[in-house]
Chains A and B, each alone.
Chain A
Amino acid sequence: MSETAAPLVEVTGLTKRYGDTLAVNGVDLTVRPGEVYGFLGPNGAGKTTTLRILTGLIAPTSGTVRVLGGAPGQAQVLARTGSMIESPAFYPYLSGLDNLRLLAEYAEVPRARIHEVLALVDLTDRARDRFSTYSLGMKQRLGVAAALLKDPELVILDEPTNGLDPAGMRDMRRLIRELGADGRTVLLSSHLLGEVQQICDRVGIISEGKMVAEHNVEELRGQQELVIRAAPRESARSVLTEALGADTVHLYDDTLRVKVAPDRAAEVNRVLVEAGIAVSELRSTERALEDVFFELTTTQPEEKADVG
């Protein structure tokens, strides 16, 4: 991934108003070639509205949007973009195969591609059944297959794991990671922090129509801590301070908190054990990212008052 290459998606000051509702309010967003970008925000934050604008389905109220160097919705832009916006919508009376056939006609891609994408999402066996008989998971997978028909450089997926059972979620996430590993650029929206953390390289957080933060997922991980219960506590603290630096270690309630990435837990454990300290608990603070998320996406009462 190159930081200097021209961004595939470049959004500045994007605003969309529906009557009195300001669905998107001055959003800036940049998606770079080859990255898997997580567009994270609670329900109603404006994710779908933004993605609809990126695919040319709706017109922005104001702001500039460039997708693959062109205006959203242009034929040559759409030809290189595959997307699934909100719930997958297909003709219920047609089979999955026929649905893809007619989309291939619209997209002007060769028929052979249909079988490739069916295999990619593991729907080959059920391709001849009517869409109306599909489970939600199969419908979502057909949606992803349709998004991949054009073999696109940019894949836009709007909450593709919504409504799936855990196994379905796992498969969908694996598929998205594979798309990213193939060198495709993926813009994935989600309201699930863990999902974005698992799949994405970078994450933009949107709340009430505004972008509140944009981070590398690695950076966010770096903000995580290890929680340690060890005895004697004071010697544990001095051993860790010596090994990791004074800034990294602090005392919180009756636990030690160490600001290191969770994957260094084994190393921390070894340091303590070698110093003859009994470690009764060592875990990463799963909540740290959630905390960041809630902090950023929950409007404080006084801010609300300002907004009116």
Chain B
Amino acid sequence: MLGSYRAELLKLRKRSAVWVLFGAGLVLSLVFGYLLPYLGYATGDDNQQTSGVPRAQVLRGLLPERVLDNTIGGFPVFAGALALVLGAIVVGGEYTWGTLKTILTQKPGRGAMLAGQLLGLLTMLAVWVLGTFVACALCSVGIAAAENAPMSWPGAVDILQALAGGWLVLTMWCLAGVVLAVAFRNVALPIGLGVVWILGVEALLAGVVSSLLPALEFLSDAMPGANAGALVFSVTGMIAADAPPGVRDAVSGERALLTLLGYTLVFALLAAVTTRRRDVV
């Protein structure tokens, strides 16, 4: 299994698409987390972007104190979609290239191969989360220095909790991509379906339920995106007014954590069972 893991890391490390996805996630985080708000702050209080929000509050959101909001605030929706794409291209690629047979005839069992693959993805997602955190921290330090604002950091436990939560959110979406790729033995279809789900269906459902069908709230509250948003909301301790799209207190933090773990486990099991049983043609 260690061999499968090392092989997977080699494949991931040398694949430019993986780094393009990371780069896109990072750019999104920095542009929406720091660049645009800071421009809004710096260009005065009559600016559209700050209408209704006091400038001091905008600045506070950019300082090290709130670095976690900006690090993982985009994970439930935008980075989540990118993580899903990652899972789909990595596992779907084995099917479209036919490399599954090349691997499996070497020696690793199917379970070991998939385990190595999932561990490799988890590792890359951890790198992604840490990389985003470091970049966001640097931005917030820069802004605090430029504005002569206080540099107080969240506690170590809060940081760990938020990074772990963000990691779980990305992992859950990535495995959704994996399980779709296994189901369809393909890359494009899982990406299409997954991205439509994350960016469209979840928001639509939540909207319909809250405005027209409150009786179905239990359904929208069980959705992976809603729980991802709730976990991020809970671990960052965000103010509802500051929360980016998809981040809200749909359910409690504990419930969101358990639901996400459940989804992650179910996706992994589905992928494993299907991979082990099915003919490789």
Contacts and interface: CB of A to CB of B under 8 A. Distances in A.
Nearest to A94: B14
A86 B281 CA distance: 10
Given A89-B99, A90-B97, 17 more contacts: A52-B279, A57-B104, A57-B281, A78-B106, A86-B101, A89-B102, A92-B97, A103-B102, A103-B103, A103-B106, A105-B3, A105-B6, A105-B7, A106-B3, A106-B108, A107-B106, A150-B107
Contacts of A106: 3-4, 7, 103, 106-108, 113
A105 B74 CA distance: 36
Contacts of B237: none
A157 to B, nearest CB: 12
B185 to A, nearest CB: 13
Interface of A: 52, 55-59, 73, 75, 78-79, 81-83, 85-94, 98, 101-103, 105-108, 146, 149-150
Select the residue from B98, B104, B107 with max chain A CB neighbours within 10 A: B107
Contacts of B280: 52, 57-58
Nearest to A55: B105
A146 B98 CA distance: 15
Residue with the highest number of chain A CB atoms closer than 10 Å, among B7, B104, B106, B113: B106
Interface residues of A, dominant DSSP:
loop
B255 interface: no
A139 to B, nearest CB: 12
Contacts, number: 89
Contact of B107 (A86, A102, A108): A108
B109 interface: yes
B130 to A, nearest CB: 25
30 contacts: A52-B101, A52-B281, A55-B104, A55-B105, A57-B101, A57-B104, A57-B105, A57-B280, A78-B106, A79-B107, A81-B105, A83-B105, A85-B101, A86-B101, A90-B97, A90-B102, A93-B14, A93-B15, A98-B14, A102-B10, A103-B102, A103-B103, A105-B4, A106-B3, A106-B7, A107-B107, A107-B108, A146-B102, A149-B106, A150-B107
Interface residues of B, number: 26
A85 B279 CA distance: 14
A86 B4 CA distance: 23
Contacts of A59: 279
Interface string B145-168: 000000000000000000000000
B76 to A, nearest CB: 30
A108 B3 contact: yes
A274 to B, nearest CB: 58
B102 A78 contact: no
B15 A57 contact: no
A82 B222 CA distance: 48
Nearest to B99: A89
A148 B12 CA distance: 25
Among B7, B11, B105, which residue has the most Cβ atoms of chain A within 10 A?
B105
B16 interface: yes
A85 B280 CA distance: 11
B97 A89 contact: yes
A81 B107 CA distance: 9
Nearest to A51: B105
Contacts of A102: 6-7, 10-11
Contact of A98 (B10, B98, B102, B113): B10
Nearest to A53: B279
Nearest to B3: A105
A82 B113 CA distance: 18
B92 to A, nearest CB: 13
Contact of A57 (B3, B11, B14, B279): B279
A79 to B, nearest CB: 5
Nearest to A131: B97
Contacts of B97: 89-92
A163 to B, nearest CB: 15
A102 B101 CA distance: 14
A20 B108 CA distance: 32
B109 A75 contact: yes
9 pairs of A and B residues whose beta carbons are closest in the complex: A89-B98, A58-B279, A105-B7, A102-B7, A107-B106, A57-B280, A106-B106, A105-B3, A78-B107
A81 B104 CA distance: 12
A87 B279 contact: no
A188 B190 CA distance: 37
Contact of B98 (A78, A87, A103): A87
B100 to A, nearest CB: 8
Interface string B78-112: 00000000000000010001110111111111000
